[in-house]
């Protein structure tokens, strides 16, 4: 049986599933029940400065995107950091950590960009017994307008500076939470590393407007006739998060920097994918907000079953396994030729593949009067679009042409050796092929 125990930047938890800093981790009542349900750790809802608590809006704070049966696909929020007094949070964290010593309890922090502020608050929070800190450089709304959150996360120099202050202020692990609202995630990740961060976590939410109310002509969620951009999360953001995680995992400068993967994780499979791309553990927010704490049971049982099936006994066996296979376009093998194949027994004759290929510049699928759909090998560029639009799973597959076969589209014999763009004759800066 696979052992899910995970040690992430020195913090050990019974499984790699942590709750991300958000409303589910905003109070003792919640975190206790989350731990009872089986969550391996929790990053407490972001703490701010001592003083008058943060004020949230009193109108709606969420916008959403749904599938047809109102399955929540994407969520957007305009919530700020915790709006409860600092001491109340600290007392609660202390009690929770005392009663759940085996679980990871990490404090998320966001204070103004001043050395004294960070150096004063970290030791005070450390008294709760928490296992580490997560610096919230990610929140894209509200706090950013006050020079915090993503206003810091978008400037690598600030990230490095604040991270260094924090490392000087505490001996506990420091995780830097990155905002995806940047053109290149590597800059902030490198800055965190240079500042001495023990790990990065990503992604925080993405700047977004989920929908527009066409009656009142205002973005949703609408508050007294107006709306603002919020932070996008949930299943829809997973592809963006996966790419950012993979970029950091494979970039020479940040190689080896522990990553806590966040963004749209809803099932065990999502979690396994993040870990395969280099995440040492994962954090979950929207799935818990949508379905409740109980989803962790499926995350645990699914990951265990898959690891058993694949013969992985420890979480460390799967972390980063797919990273060597993430490469740049220019290194993809141009001699690898595939063709779409339609399984006529599975085909239900909907014609979607035809419409897609016909209207997407390839015209490589033929349609007979009695609705038999066939791939024309001499036109098929192997783009895979038909596979993706076909409503029947495995009805269309991509067959690899073996070396020696002729690609009817190009008339060329499929070659055995791999060859990529770097050596391609059409590439003006190609290295001479040997």
Partner 1 sequence: MASAIRKEGVSSGRVDMDTAQANFSDLHPSYDAHEALVAADRCYFCHDAPCITACPTSIDIPLFIRQIATGTPEAAAETILEQNILGGMCARVCPTETLCEEACVREAAEGKPVEIGRLQRHATDTLMSKDIHPFQRKSLTGRKIAVVGAGPSGLACAHRLAMHGHDVVIFEARSKGGGLNEFGIAAYKTTNDFAQRELDWLLQIGGIEIRYGHALGNSITLEQLRADYDAVFLGMGLAGVNALSLEGEDKENVEDAVAFIAELRQAQDVTALPVGRRVVIIGGGMTAIDAAVQSKLLGAEEVTVVYRRAQDAMPASGYEQDLAQKKGVRIVCNAAPVGIEGNGSLTGVTFAYTETVDGKLVTTDDTFTLPADQLFKAIGQTLAGAPADVVLEGGKIAVDGLGQTSVKGVWAGGDCASGGDDLTVTAVAEGRDAAENIHATLMGA
Ligand X SMILES: Cc1cc2nc3c(=O)[nH]c(=O)nc-3n(C[C@H](O)[C@H](O)[C@H](O)COP(=O)(O)O)c2cc1C
Two structure tokens written together for 60 = 């709606």
Using the contact rule CB under 6 A, the part of the chain among 133-141, 219-227, 248-256, 291-299 near ligand X is: 133-141
Residue 367, CB half-sphere, CA atoms under 13 Å: how many?
13
CA distance 419 to 421: 7
Two structure tokens written together for 329 = 């376009």
> Quick one: 94 or 366, whose CB is closer to ligand SF4?
366
CA distance 259 to 274: 10
Q: Which does 272 bind (CB under 5 to 8 A by kind): ligand SF4, partner 1, ligand X, none?
A: none
CA distances, 73 to each of 219, 320, 329 (Å): 18, 27, 29
Enumerate residues 6+ apart whose C-beta is below 8 A from 118.
109, 111, 162, 165, 166, 169
Q: Which does 205 bind (CB under 5 to 8 A by kind): ligand X, ligand SF4, partner 1, none?
A: ligand X
384: contact with ligand SF4 by CB under 6 A: yes
Residue 374 Cβ vs ligand SF4, minimum distance, rounded to whole Å:
9
Residues 54-73 close enough to bind partner 1 by CB under 8 A:
67-70
Q: Which of residues 311, 324, 391, 425 is near partner 1 by CB under 8 A?
A: 391
Q: Which of residues 106, 197, 385, 401 is near ligand SF4 by CB under 6 A?
A: 385
> Quick one: 368 or 429, whose CB is closer to partner 1?
368
Two structure tokens written together for 165 = 């202050």
244: contact with ligand SF4 by CB under 6 A: no
371: contact with partner 1 by CB under 8 A: yes
> Quick one: 15 or 286, whose CB is closer to ligand X?
286
Residues 343-362 close enough to bind ligand SF4 by CB under 6 A:
347-353, 356-357, 362
Using the contact rule CB under 8 A, the part of the chain among 132-140, 155-163, 343-351, 404-412 near partner 1 is: 343-351
- Torsion region of 2: left, alpha or beta (phi above 0 gives left; psi -120 to 50 gives alpha): beta
CA distance 36 to 210: 34
CB atoms within 10 A of CB 404: 9
381: contact with ligand SF4 by CB under 6 A: yes
Q: Which of residues 154, 163, 190, 204 is near ligand X by CB under 6 A?
A: 204
Q: Which does 386 bind (CB under 5 to 8 A by kind): partner 1, ligand X, ligand SF4, none?
A: ligand SF4
> Quick one: 308 or 343, whose CB is closer to partner 1?
343
Q: Which does 13 bind (CB under 5 to 8 A by kind): partner 1, ligand X, ligand SF4, none?
A: none
Comparing CA positions, the residue from 275, 277, 295 lying closest to residue 286 is: 295
Residue 223, CB half-sphere, CA atoms under 13 Å: how many?
15
Two structure tokens written together for 381 = 């560029």
Count, in order, helices (H) and strands (E) of the chain.
12, 22
Please list the active-site residues.
139
Q: Which of residues 109, 262, 337, 353 is near ligand X by CB under 6 A?
A: 262
Q: What is the DSSP letter of 248?
A: H
| H/E element, 7 | strand 6-8
CB–CB of 338/386 below 8 Å? Answer: no
345: contact with partner 1 by CB under 8 A: no
Enumerate residues 6+ apart whose C-beta is below 8 A from 33.
293
Q: Which does 68 bind (CB under 5 to 8 A by kind): partner 1, ligand X, ligand SF4, none?
A: partner 1
Enumerate residues 6+ apart whose C-beta is below 8 A from 371.
349, 351
364: contact with ligand SF4 by CB under 6 A: yes
Residues that bind partner 1 (CB under 8 A): 67-70, 348-352, 354-355, 367, 371, 391-392
Residues that bind ligand X (CB under 6 A): 20-23, 45-46, 75, 77, 79, 81, 108, 136, 138-139, 177, 204-205, 233-234, 237, 262-265, 284-287
């Amino acid at each position: 049986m696979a052992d899910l125990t995970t040690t992430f930047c020195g913090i050990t938890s019974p499984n790699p599933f942590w709750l991300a800093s958000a409303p589910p981790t905003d109070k003792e009542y919640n975190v206790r029940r989350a731990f009872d349900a089986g969550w391996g750790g929790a990053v407490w809802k972001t703490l701010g400065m001592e003083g008058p608590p943060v004020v949230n809006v009193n109108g709606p704070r969420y916008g959403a995107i749904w599938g047809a049966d109102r399955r929540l696909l994407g969520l957007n929020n305009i919530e700020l950091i915790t709006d409860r007094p600092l001491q109340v949070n600290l007392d609660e964290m202390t009690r929770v950590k005392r009663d759940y010593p085996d679980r990871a309890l990490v404090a998320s922090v966001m204070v103004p960009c001043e050395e004294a502020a960070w150096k004063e608050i970290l030791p005070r929070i450390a008294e709760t017994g928490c296992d580490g800190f997560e610096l919230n450089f990610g929140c894209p709304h509200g706090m950013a307008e006050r020079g915090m959150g993503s206003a810091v996360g978008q400037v690598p120099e600030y990230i490095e500076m604040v991270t260094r202050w924090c490392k000087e202020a505490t001996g506990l692990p420091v995780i830097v939470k990155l905002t995806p609202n940047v053109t290149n995630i590597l800059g902030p990740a490198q800055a965190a590393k240079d500042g001495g961060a023990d790990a990065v976590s990503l992604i925080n939410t993405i700047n977004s407007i989920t929908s527009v109310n066409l009656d009142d002509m205002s973005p949703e969620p609408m508050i007294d006739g107006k709306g603002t951009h919020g932070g996008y999360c949930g299943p829809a953001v997973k592809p963006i998060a996966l790419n950012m995680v993979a970029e950091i995992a494979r970039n020479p400068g940040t190689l080896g920097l522990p990553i806590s993967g966040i963004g749209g994780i809803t099932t065990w499979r999502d979690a396994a994918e993040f870990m395969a791309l280099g995440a040492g553990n994962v954090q979950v927010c929207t799935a818990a907000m949508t379905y409740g704490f109980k989803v962790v049971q499926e995350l645990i049982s699914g990951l265990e079953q898959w690891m058993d099936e694949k013969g992985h006994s420890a979480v460390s066996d799967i972390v980063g396994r797919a990273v060597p296979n993430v490469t740049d376009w220019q290194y993809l093998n141009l001699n690898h030729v595939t063709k779409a194949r339609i399984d006529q027994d599975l085909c239900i004759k909907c014609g979607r593949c035809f419409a897609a290929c016909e209207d997407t510049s390839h015209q490589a699928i033929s349609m007979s009067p009695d609705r038999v759909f066939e791939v024309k090998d001499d036109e098929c560029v192997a783009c895979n679009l038909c596979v993706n639009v076909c409503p029947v799973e495995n009805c269309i597959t991509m067959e690899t042409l073996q070396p020696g076969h002729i690609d009817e589209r190009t008339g060329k014999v499929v070659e055995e050796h791999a060859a990529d763009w770097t050596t391609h004759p059409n590439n003006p800066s190609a290295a001479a092929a040997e």
